[in-house]
Structure formats: structure tokens, C-alpha cells
Structure 1
Amino acid sequence: MHPLAWLDAHAAARRAAGLRRELTPRAAGDPGIDLAGNDYLGLCTDPRVVDGGVEALRTWGAGSTGSRLVTGTTALHAELERELAAFCGAESALVFSSGYAANLGALTALSGPGALIVSDVANHASLVDACRLSRARIVVADGPAAVDAALAQRTETRALVVTDSVNSVDGGLAPLRELHAISRSREALLVVDEAHGLGVCGPGGRGLLAGVGLAGADDVVATVTLSKALGSQGGAVLGPAAVTAHLVDSARSFIFDTGLAPACVGSALAALRVLAATPSLPAAVLRAAADLAAAAGVPAPASSVVSVVLGEPARALAAARRCAELGVRVGCFRPPSVPEGTSRLRLTARATLTADDLAHVRRVFAEVLAPAAAR
């Protein structure tokens, strides 16, 4: 038997369960309304952000040429790190090639054998994978009480509590003040992934940590992505200078990875400056999210993510396809991304959605969602 023969049966089973994934290339200038991507501030195509990337491309070339420790750190990388740390209220920042790599680097370098990681049950896959690679003991916790119990019973010297600030699937906010109080009382480090918080939550979009008064705390580390609200690519770890210095020495996804391409750095830096100069943008995202939620008949979120649970995968997939046919792209989340029986449409708000866009969305949802929910 061929060593890959099992793939056909595996694919057939996934297809029968409505779980087969497909890549769908989008065309430049697609006129559809995008409620699936994570360009929350509409900065991906903003001329100022594009110009920032083009200028960096012409100045530094197409690639960073090497790892950050060899030739992959440019003056532009250092400039982005300084401004990102200052904006978010952290002592320092370290830029990685992606948010995924930033999470892998932070968790594996700050834990390891002999440490405990208490991971929220709904954490993003990048955090889950980082926990698995850390070789630390892992406890998956559902809520602050479970976090406290896990920390109270630990025998390890070092412990980390890990959570997303904004749940990437349902848009819910983590109880960061409570988690921090528990972590501090149990002498644990709180690690918060602000992938969906930066640019949307907190004062001027500085993140949920800033919103709850924890930005810059000496026992908190944050990770961010540059590919969502900032419309570019890459990720970063923010925290005390001792932490980022340790990551330079120890984070394998930093040391052995090629540095982020200069064009992405330039675009992210330009986007960060636009956000800093336009503090009204995050509020515009939340208004759009409330409008989308009303159109879908679900409660308004406290973030940019609106979740519409439809149940079985086939139902969610059919609704997503019909929305696309009517000119509205939506996310379709099915197991294992969500629990069985909770397949859903995931809608993402954007600050640049117009009144005409929202009116069209309301018409589409009136046609698509009511029949889907009734089945």
C-alpha cells in the first residue's frame, strides 16, 4: 500500500462531515463586502500604509536577508519596536515574523521543563501549540476559579497564566484584572495575546491590557500581531526589557527564523502612526460591530468579532456560500476550530464600512440567516 493512500479516505470522511477546507483565491479589487478578514481599521489598503511599505521596500530591498541575529535587523525594525512599545505602554518590544511565531517564542522561552502553564480553554491554536512545545506541565482551565486552583496546587517554581485578551471566535473579553490578581497572588506571570485587542480595545486602541490599567505591569507579557488592525504582517512580544532580552537569547522562533521583511515593517509602522494620530478609529470599529450584530440578530460584542452560531457544519457552510453569492464574505468556523454543534458564521467589523455597505449586509442577512436559523 502506498504510504499516502490513507489521505483519500481521510479527505472523503472530512467531506462527508462538511469539514473539508478549500483555498479560495480572491481577486484584486473584488467588489464584495469583506466581513471575514481581520483588517479591523481598514488600513491594509490605506495609501499611507501602502506607501510606508513601498518606501521600505525601495530602501531595504525585498527581504531582510537573514535572521534577526545576523543581518535581519534593520534600523526600521528597531524603530517599529520602540514605537510599538511606547504606544502600548510597555518597556520594550521584540518583532517576530508572525503573531504565531511570537506566541511560540514567548511561551517556550519563558517556561520549559519544570514550569507550569495554565492555559485558557478557548485559547488560539498558536498558544495551544506553544504550550505543547514548551515541555512544561500544562493545565487547561475554564475561568478564573480554575486558574486559581491550578496555581494553588502547583509544585513548580515558575508558572505562567496564558489567555487571549479577545476571543478570536466569539469576541468575548478575558477577565484580565481578575486573572492578574490571581497570578500576582500566586507569583505567576500573566501572558496575554492581544491579537484581536490591539487597535480595537483600550484607550486609542492600545489593547485590553491598557483598557484595564495593566499596560506596562512588570509581571505581564503581551503578544500582538501586526496582521490584523495594523493591516500588515508580523508579530511582536511586549514586556519588561529583561523579557525581550531573554527572548533574543532563547526564543527559537526568533533566533532561527528569517527576520520580518522590511516592507511589512514599514507598513506596520505607518499603520501604527495612523492609529496613534486617529484615536477615533477603534470606536468606529465597535460601532460597526454593533450594527453587524443587530443585522444578524445577536447581542452586540465588546470587540470587533461577531459570532452567529448556526449549529451543524453543513448549515454554516451553506449560509456562508449564499452570503458570498450575494456579495458579502463571512467567516465560516467549523470543528475543530469550534466545539461540535456550534459551527458558526464569524463576522468581523471594519472601521471603514459605509452606510451603504451596512444596508446591503442587512438585506443579505435578512435573506440568509433567518432561513438558516430556522432549519
Structure 2
Amino acid sequence: MANLDFLSKELEQLKADGRYRPLTEWEGGSGSWMTLGGRRVLQMSSNNYLGLTAHPELKRAAIEAIEKYGVGSGSVRTIAGTLDIHGKLERELAAFKGTEATLVFQSGFTTNQGILGSILGPDDVVISDELNHASIIDGIRLTKASRKVFAHKDLDQLEQALKESASYRARVVVTDGVFSMDGDIAPLPAIVELAERYDAVVYVDDAHASGVLGRNGKGSTDHFGLHGRVHIQVGTLSKAIGVSGGYMAGSALLKDYLIHKARSFLFSTSQTPAVAASCLAAVKVLGRSPELIERLWSNANYCREKLLALGFDTGMSETPIIPIIVGSPADTMRFSDALLAEGVYAQGIVYPTVAMDKGRVRLIVTASHTREDLDFALDALARTGRIAGLI
């Protein structure tokens, strides 16, 4: 009888490389301080940028939705129909983003897969930044389109790729708004100008810019004042929004097309009513709470300045994502473990997520962290960083 023993060799290699990491099981909900093995630990790896996961309005909206709709949505929206809570969420998101329409997917990952896998064909070309998120890479793999990759934020290479692809039906330039491993921001104005010069479509994944950049967290398009010039915006509902899901923001034409063509939309049951209601509440909170974004950025700038003063290598960070570059996978995981012993949870990230020699502990600063929390983390980082020879 066949078995899965052949997988054990790969797992053993991960352990030998220092890249093996079991799941961490927390005892309680997501927050600044969490309980692990009965011990209180400072969480510095969560994407809960604005602390909305425990916001009372979101929790109340979820409870009320369960009472009204039950716990499930029944089926995919094209078969069983769309619950009005999903329509309300999409209309609120469109108003928030300043676009004609939005379409909600089950996750940011499936949003990229669904859009890229459906809009691109063999007569098209997709031009992608080399550090784009895995969901973009996998979405591109689902297409029969030609592919070109340009070096990270290299506008000369991007222009060359655009020049070389004039014969294609459509050219789509894809970039993250904020890059998830380095915390740097895409040069979106320059990308848009090049795309307009060569008649290309601009596609921006704002997973880590949603709720972080722009007025009230409207994203990178708003941050740079590029409304009407970015054709496809992808946002997440799983990070700063504090719940779960992803969405496309763009034209009504694109929404109609995706409803009929995007496989991850067509063949996946829609968000539960409680999730959709919580997301709707979160968008409303964002719309009236600019102080959350202000606090997030104040905390992020404070933490980054202190880390640089200590002598840490924070790479290209310019957002609340602040990597501390360590090096090899084994060294990275040892540093992460040392921080946990000090009461700070900062997960090590290693190959293949980043280059083999660019392992890092990725800190994510949130609006719910206090200065006391950040100072606690900085003290732990200083002690462990000196022992590890990083500073």
C-alpha cells in the first residue's frame, strides 16, 4: 500500500537547514499581548495593524449577523444567490476606495489567483516585480500569458519590458503597494506614468497598504493621489481590517467579468455572514477614525528610529513592517527563539520566503502597541542582538 513516507526526507532537510518551524498555538485571541504556554508574550508578528480584531463594534456586528443569518452563507454566490450583507459590504468598500465597484473574495490570496487567472490569456503579457507576493506569482502561473519579471522597483527594466511587449493584446504591470517582507513602498507614480506611456494596465496589490497608507487607510492609490489611473486594486480584509477576506476595487465592467470568469469566486463558498458584517463594520470604523492610522505611523517611526540607533539592519523598511536582517536560516531561527525567551514573539522568516542569506525577524508594529510595549521589545532586541552579534 502506498504511503507518504517520502515526505519525511524533505522535512528532515528543513530541520537540517534550520528552516523547520512548528505552528505556534496561542491561548486566546489576537492582541498586543497574548498567552503562550501559560506565559504572557508580546506579539510583534501580527498583521493586526490597527488592533481591530477585538474592536467592540466588529464583535457586535458579527454576533448580530449570526442571529440574523446563521453561521454560513449556504453556497457560492452565483448558485445560491448573494446575501444582502455581501452587497452592502461591496458598496461600502467601493465608496471607501473611490471606485465604481468592488468584488469580495474569500482571501487576498484567492483574489489574486482569481483575477490574474481569468483576465490574462495567451495573447497577453504580465510584467511583475521580482519581490511580489506569492499569491501574485501563483496567480500568474495559472495563466497562459507570457511573463516578464523586472528587478525590484527597477523602472529602467520595467520600461524595457514594456518596450519589448508592444505586440501583445494586453500588457499588465503588477506590483505590491507595500512589499510584505521588506516593508518598502512601490514607486507607484512612476509605474503609472510608464504604463500610461506604453498603454499598459496597472494592477496593485495593497494587502499591506490597506488600512496603512492613504487617508484613513484607503491604500497606495490614495496615498499617491492616483485615483482613476490604477485599473485594478486588490485589498485585504484580513490584516488592518482585522477580519478575513480580500477584494478587487475597480470598474463595474471588471466586476461583472470576474463574477463570470474568476474560478476562485465561482467555485468557493462566500464569506460567512458574520465575517462580512464584521468587515462592513471595520470599513465604517476606518472611515471615521484617522487617529488609528496616525498612531500606527507614530509607533512605526519610533520603533524604526530606535532600531537604527541600536545598529540593526532594517533593510528597506519605510512602513510598519520592519525587518531585522539576520542572515542564514539557522541564525535567524536562533535569534527568534532568543527573543521569545525574552518574552517577545517575532517569527523568523527564511528561505524560500526570502533569499537564503537574507533571513530576518520581521517586526510588525501596530496602533495598539503602547510605547511601553515597544520599549519592552526594544530592550529585548538590544540584549539578544548583542549576544547574536547583530549590533
Q: TM-score normalised by the shorter chain: which range applies?
A: over 0.9
Structure 1 position 329 matched with structure 2 position 342: no
Unaligned runs of 5+ in 1: none
Give the match for residue 130 of structure 1: 139
Quote how far apart the aligned CAs of 1:319 are. 1.3
Structure 1 position 37 matched with structure 2 position 53: no
Structure 1 position 56 matched with structure 2 position 53: no
Distance 1:202 1:76 in 2: 26
Give the match for residue 229 of structure 1: 240
Answer whether contact 1:81 1:93 (CA < 8 A) is retained: yes
Answer whether contact 1:119 1:161 (CA < 8 A) is retained: yes
Distance 1:151 1:220 in 2: 17
1:291 partner amino acid? Y
Give the match for residue 96 of structure 1: 105
1:350 partner amino acid? T
TM value normalised by structure 2 = 0.92
Quote how far apart the aligned CAs of 1:27 are. 0.8
Structure 1 stretches of at least 4 aligned residues deviating more than 6 Å after TM superposition: none
Structure 1 position 176 matched with structure 2 position 188: yes
Distance 2:368 2:340 in 1: 19
Greater shift, 52-61 or 91-100, is seen at 52-61
Quote how far apart the aligned CAs of 1:4 are. 2.8
Give the match for residue 310 of structure 1: 326
Kindly provide the CA deviation profile for residues 160-202 of structure 1, in whole angstroms up to 9, marking residues without a partner as x.
Answer: 1001000000100001011111111111111000000011111
Give the match for residue 92 of structure 2: 83
Distance 2:76 2:325 in 1: 42
Distance 1:235 1:181 in 2: 27
Kindly provide the CA deviation profile for residues 234-259 of structure 1, in whole angstroms up to 9, marking residues without a partner as x.
Answer: 01000011111110111111111110
Give the match for residue 266 of structure 2: 255
Unaligned runs of 5+ in 2: 29-33
Distance 1:369 1:293 in 2: 15
1:305 partner amino acid? I
Kindly provide the CA deviation profile for residues 188-231 of structure 1, in whole angstroms up to 9, marking residues without a partner as x.
Answer: 111000000011111221111111111333x5200011000000
Distance 2:232 2:61 in 1: 28
Structure 1 position 190 matched with structure 2 position 241: no
2:215 partner amino acid? P
Kindly provide the CA deviation profile for residues 335-355 of structure 1, in whole angstroms up to 9, marking residues without a partner as x.
Answer: 000011000010001101112
The percentage of aligned residue pairs carrying the same residue is: 33
Answer whether contact 2:19 2:333 (CA < 8 A) is retained: no
1:86 partner amino acid? A
Give the match for residue 372 of structure 1: 388
**Alignment CA distance shift 1:113-1:281 (3 Å):** same
Distance 1:72 1:332 in 2: 43
**Alignment CA distance shift 1:10-1:358 (3 Å):** same
Answer whether contact 2:299 2:371 (CA < 8 A) is retained: no
Distance 2:367 2:81 in 1: 33
SS, match of residue 307 in structure 1: strand
Distance 1:301 1:289 in 2: 10
Distance 1:125 1:210 in 2: 24
How many residues get paired? 374
Answer whether contact 1:96 1:260 (CA < 8 A) is retained: yes
Distance 2:386 2:119 in 1: 48
Distance 1:98 1:60 in 2: 21
1:172 partner amino acid? D
Quote how far apart the aligned CAs of 1:322 are. 1.8
Structure 1 position 199 matched with structure 2 position 208: no
Structure 1 position 294 matched with structure 2 position 315: no
